[in-house]
Each structure stands twice: as C-alpha cells, then as structure tokens.
Amino acid sequence: MRAPQSLGKVLTDALAHFGLDAKARNYEVLTQWAEIVGEQVAQSTHAEKLERGVLTVRVTNSVWRYELTLRSSEIMKKIAKRCGNDVVKEIRWKL
C-alpha cells in the first residue's frame, strides 16, 4: 500500500499528467497579482491576461504606467519567485 499524499501533491501531479501545469501557473499569476505586487500597486492595476509569456496589465493612469515600466524587472523577479522562471517573459502596461 502506498503512503498517503497531500492534496496539493495529488493536484500538482494530476495537472502535470494532463498537461495543464503551465496553464495553472499562468492562472496563478492572474489570481495572485495583488500578493505579488502588493496592495498599493494592486489598487491601481489589474492583470488581465497572460499569453505566450506576455502579461498584459491595465493601469489606472499614465503616471502608474511610467512607474511600473521602470519597475518591470523587479516585478518579473517577484513573479518568477512565486510562479516559476519561465512563466512571464514580458509585461505590457496599458491604459
């Protein structure tokens, strides 16, 4: 008889088995956006979609767009730490 496994391990294995692990990581970036960037940035942004490594984020105004463009590499490091290195290759900030 096999040893019991945690539910998280079972889900991770099932996603990998069906080839859905990459989609789950993409979805995690969108759902965990506020935790990744922090409350202040999250209040002025909305992560809309992640396709082919390009994360599209809507910002409330051009000042935030400029600020976040300067901080893109920092934010990408936070995403990589939380969701994996290969998930986001570029961030596009749009009004």
Is 2 domain-assigned? no
> Tens-digit pLDDT profile for the chain (95 aa)?
778 888 877 777 776 777 767 676 778 999 999 999 999 999 999 999 999 999 999 999 999 999 999 999 999 999 999 998 889 999 999 99
Q: What total number of domains does the chain contain?
A: 1
Residue 44 has, within 13 A of its CA and on its CB side, a CA count of 16
3-state secondary structure of 18: coil
Is 1 domain-assigned? no
- Check which CATH number belongs to the domain holding 77 and give it: 3.30.300.180
Which residue range(s) make up the domain with 83? 7-94
Report pTM: 0.81
Is 23 domain-assigned? yes
